[in-house]
Structure formats: structure tokens, C-alpha cells
Amino acid sequence: MKLPLMLFKQCFFGGFFVNNKSRIKVGIIGVGNCAKSLVEGIQYYVQNPDDKVGLMYQDIGGYTVEDIEFVIGFDIDSRKVNQPLGKALRAAPNCAMDHVKEIDNTCVAEGAKVYYSPVLDGVADYMLDFPEEVSFRISKDEVKTMDEIISLIKESKVDVLINYLPVGSEEATRFWVDVALAAGVHFVNCIPTIIATEDTQEIEQRFIDAGLTIVGSDMRSAWGSSRMSEILQGAMLDSGLIVTQHIQMNMASGSTQGQHYIRTGRTANTDFLNMSKQERLENKHISKENVLKGQNIVRDESICGMTLFAGPSLTVQQKPGGQYVGTDNKVANFDIVAYGFGRARYEITGRLSVQDSPNSGGVVVSAIRFCKVASEMGIVGFLRGPSAWTQKTPPLQLRSSDSKFECDALARRVFTDLTTPQKKENNPVAKNLPYTFQASKNDYV
Ligand SMILES: NC(=O)c1ccc[n+]([C@@H]2O[C@H](COP(=O)([O-])OP(=O)(O)OC[C@H]3O[C@@H](n4cnc5c(N)ncnc54)[C@H](O)[C@@H]3O)[C@@H](O)[C@H]2O)c1
């Protein structure tokens, strides 16, 4: 006998019934390149179900890519504000590669729009000096107030808000954390803010009190320089070596896929242009180095006297003239020195060239679903496993194998020693949960 369609929507998962599962509604703060790649990538996978390459998790607690829907966006750029979300994602200065011919309503809700939210410290003055084709331009429309934004988020029934603001948006992130808590939505903090332990604890307590989940901070890519550094650093330590120097230098260089024909005028994407001045970079630098230090800390290995450096080091800018287009291609160079058996010396040099924004989509597509599933399981606060797997500065640094184990368990809706104390019914208190101490200043200051 055939079951009615409604019953097909009910799926059994790891001992849980997900009744009448509805789509996860997502709101985007900062409709830039990473947002473009995430939305287009999800549309691509839904429309090409046989292609699974690049999807770390096809199924997280019963949710697949088909279950993600983008319902609202917030930005400050005159070319994006008041536009339909799909159109804004393709507007300049976004330059990430296209994954689909056009953005349709496969995963963008009908009527989803981009609203003008407060600029605060989102835009550095020097961004306005770059040509408009490749940089930000602030809208002159009327900006929405916090109360209006909270109402819009509630009306759109957002489940998860993603913070994709430019690096250095400290005040703006605080604004959006307040919005998320007031609107009752989960939060994925993809940028290097809220990285010092005392800030993280304070924010975590507020999310616990509100019965919400948070993943953060500062997303890493599916296979980017942070993952490379983490794996190499961890594997060398596990092989009994000491790593005395680990330098990871990142720069914008090359071409966005599909734009290789452009000979002159290529320049960095807005993320790299924004990071071209040191004043905006402090937290990014600390967060990137936390990846290296983290692998020592979890193994109780000292970093005393080691040369560890990871950071955006160079933003290649073209001379005026030519056809100005941003490039989403990023190159990371690695220079590692280690010592092993009988004081023998090892040297590794490496180079990774990637399309930056799609690479980040490969982790956020999972982070969104982890928030939703964890909350359905009654977990509150920072998701330690998914944060360690998808972000550079999680509240708790973990070995790669341990963070993957935690994610796999959550994807099967199974509790672990880390998630059980975070069940709402166990009344978790942030200060009593496990943390890796992370300073607000780097160690050398
Ligand atoms: N692989 C990656 O690309 C990667 C990895 C880790 C972290 N990140 C971080 O993720 C963030 C997003 O990266 P991106 O490449 O999409 O950047 P982007 O510059 O393409 O997008 C930022 C967007 O934010 C908007 N914006 C600026 N100020 C705003 C404000 N106050 N309110 C709302 N919107 C505002 C801009 O107009 C733009 O649309 C950056 O902080 C970046 O460093 C990216």
C-alpha cells in the first residue's frame, strides 16, 4: 500500500522523527562574494543531484541542500540595497565565479529582498577610493532601524542568520548579534570577530539564555590555507616532530574562473582590498594564527620561541587603466621548518591556488544545517565540533579528527561527551563549558 505524501515528509533519523520537516530559512548579512557562492552552489547541487563533489555532508540530521532556502539579505551597497536577493548576489563588485546560468527560485524564496542595514564600521574609508567596479559604494536610501530589521527577520521566519560582513566589522557584528538574539535566530559568525575567550563566553551565555545555537568565528574553507596548515602542523606533531617555523602567506592573485581572458586591470576581490591595510587586520591575523597554535595547544606542545605566522600578506593591485574586474582567486604560500629524529631538519614549501569564495561555501552549507539540527536536539550555545571544523577560532580548538567526529555524530543526531552538557535541560553555563584560552591580542605584543 502506498503511503500518503505527507508521511513521506516524515523521516526517521538516528532515533528521532523529523515531523513535517520544513526548509531551513536563512538570512544573509553582507550580500558579497561568499554569499553569492553559497547560494549559487546550493542551486547547482539541487539542480545537479548526481554531482556530490565538494559537498562534505549530503545529509545532516535529515537535512540536505534542498532543505535550505534564502529568504532575506542585508547590505549597504547602492547596487544591492532594495534589489531582489538573486539580482543583488550578481551585482558589482561581486566577482566570484558563476555556478549556474542565472539565480532562480530553486533556493532563493520568491520575493526575497535585500534591505539597507546600518553601515557602522562595515566600510573602511579607503574602500571608497577604489574604482566602483571593484569596491563598495554606500547607498543613499533610508537605512532600516534595529526594530524594523528585527520585524523583517521575524516576518521572513528566518532560522539562521549568516554574518558575512567585511573583516574589521566589530561594532556591526555586535549590532547583528543583538538582532539575532532579539529575533530568536541562530547565528553563524563567518568573520574574525568575537574571537577572544572572554567575548566568546559572554556571547555564548546570551545564546544559551535565548535557547539558540551559534557557530563561529571566522570561517575556514573546505580546503583552504587554514585546513592545509592545520593538517600539516597536526600531522608533523603527531609524527614526533617539532615545528619551529610555520609561515602561511596569503594573497589575491590570478583570475576568477571564466575571466581568464582579461589581460589588464584585474585586481583583488573586496575581501582582500578591505584587508589591504593593517588597521583592519588585527583580528584576522590573530584568528589565522589561532589555527596553527590550536594544533599545538590540543597536544600540549609549547609554541615558545616558534616562528608562526599566518595572515593576509599581500593585496595585489593593478595600475590604473585596463578593464577593472575583481578576482576571487587566492594564493597561499607555505614555508615550514621542522626537526625530527636525532635533530634531523625538514623543510616544506607549498603553494595552494583556489577560488576563494566557493571554497567557503563548502563549509557554510554544513554550518547552517548543524545549527538547525543541534537546536532540534535541544542543544544550546556554541556548537564546539562544527565550530572547530568550519571556523578558524572556535571556542574550543580540537584535533581535526575530533572535530570531524563531533560533526559526524551531530549529523547522525547522536550526543557526545561534548554536546550532552549543552542540552538545554542540563542548564549549561558558558563559564563551565570547555574553552581553549584565546587572547584578544597576539602573543608577541
Ligand atoms: N574563503 C573566504 O572567502 C573567506 C574565508 C574566511 C572568512 N571570510 C570572511 O567572510 C566575510 C565575507 O567575505 P566576502 O568575500 O563575501 O566579502 P565581500 O566583500 O564580498 O562582501 C561583504 C559584503 O558586506 C557588505 N557590507 C559592508 N558593510 C556592511 C554593513 N555594515 N552591513 C551590511 N552589509 C555590509 C558589502 O557591501 C558586501 O556586499 C569577510 O569578512 C571575509 O574575510 C571569507
Q: CA-to-CA distance for 120 and 30, rounded, in angstroms?
A: 13
343 and 392 share a domain? no
Residue 190 CA: which ligand 1 atom is closest?
10
124 and 159 share a domain? yes
Is 421 contained in some domain?
Answer: yes
333 and 242 share a domain? yes
343 and 398 share a domain? no
At 254 the pLDDT is 81
76 lines ligand 1 (CB under 6 A): yes
28 and 76 share a domain? yes
- Assess contact for 93 and 134: CB atoms under 8 A: yes
- Between 10 and 357, whose confidence is greater? 357
305 and 416 share a domain? no
Q: Of 319, 321, 317, 297, nearest to 308 (Cα)?
A: 297
Is 445 contained in some domain?
Answer: no
C-alpha grid cell, residue 138? 554606500
Q: Of 3, 5, 35, nearest to 20 (Cα)?
A: 5
Domain end marker among 291, 326, 356: 356
Domain end marker among 336, 356, 376: 356
199-244 pLDDT, tens per residue?
999 999 999 999 999 999 999 999 999 999 999 999 999 999 999 9
Q: CA-to-CA distance for 418 and 379, rounded, in angstroms?
A: 11
Domain end marker among 317, 332, 356: 356
Q: CA-to-CA distance for 100 and 105, rounded, in angstroms?
A: 12
93 and 214 share a domain? yes
Number of domains in the chain: 2
**Candidate from 134, 139, 165 with most ligand 1 atoms within 8 A of CB, to mutate:** 165
Say whether 314 sits in a helix, a strand or coil.
Answer: strand
Q: CA-to-CA distance for 315 and 256, rounded, in angstroms?
A: 15
Query: E strands within 316-379?
Result: 325-327, 329-339, 345-355
Give the length of the chain: 445
Is 151 contained in some domain?
Answer: yes
Q: Maximum CA pair distance of the chain? A: 71
How many Cβ atoms are within 10 Å of 299's Cβ, its own excluded?
12
Distance 217 CA to ligand 1 centre (A): 14
**What DSSP state is assigned to residue 217?**
S
Say whether 74 sits in a helix, a strand or coil.
Answer: strand
168 lines ligand 1 (CB under 6 A): no
**Candidate from 360, 389, 390 with most ligand 1 atoms within 8 A of CB, to mutate:** 360
Cell 596569503 belongs to: 250
Distance 29 CA to ligand 1 centre (A): 8
User: Residue 14: is its pLDDT beyond 60?
Assistant: no
298-344 pLDDT, tens per residue?
999 999 999 999 987 777 777 777 777 899 999 999 999 999 999 99
At 443 the pLDDT is 59
**Candidate from 34, 37, 217 with most ligand 1 atoms within 8 A of CB, to mutate:** 34
| Amino acid symbol at 267 | T
191 lines ligand 1 (CB under 6 A): yes
251-283 pLDDT, tens per residue?
988 888 888 888 888 888 999 999 988 888 888
127-145 pLDDT, tens per residue?
999 999 999 999 999 999 9
Average pLDDT over residues 47-63: 97
Domain span at 252: 225-356
Is 395 contained in some domain?
Answer: yes
Residue 166 CA: which ligand 1 atom is closest?
41
At 4 the pLDDT is 39
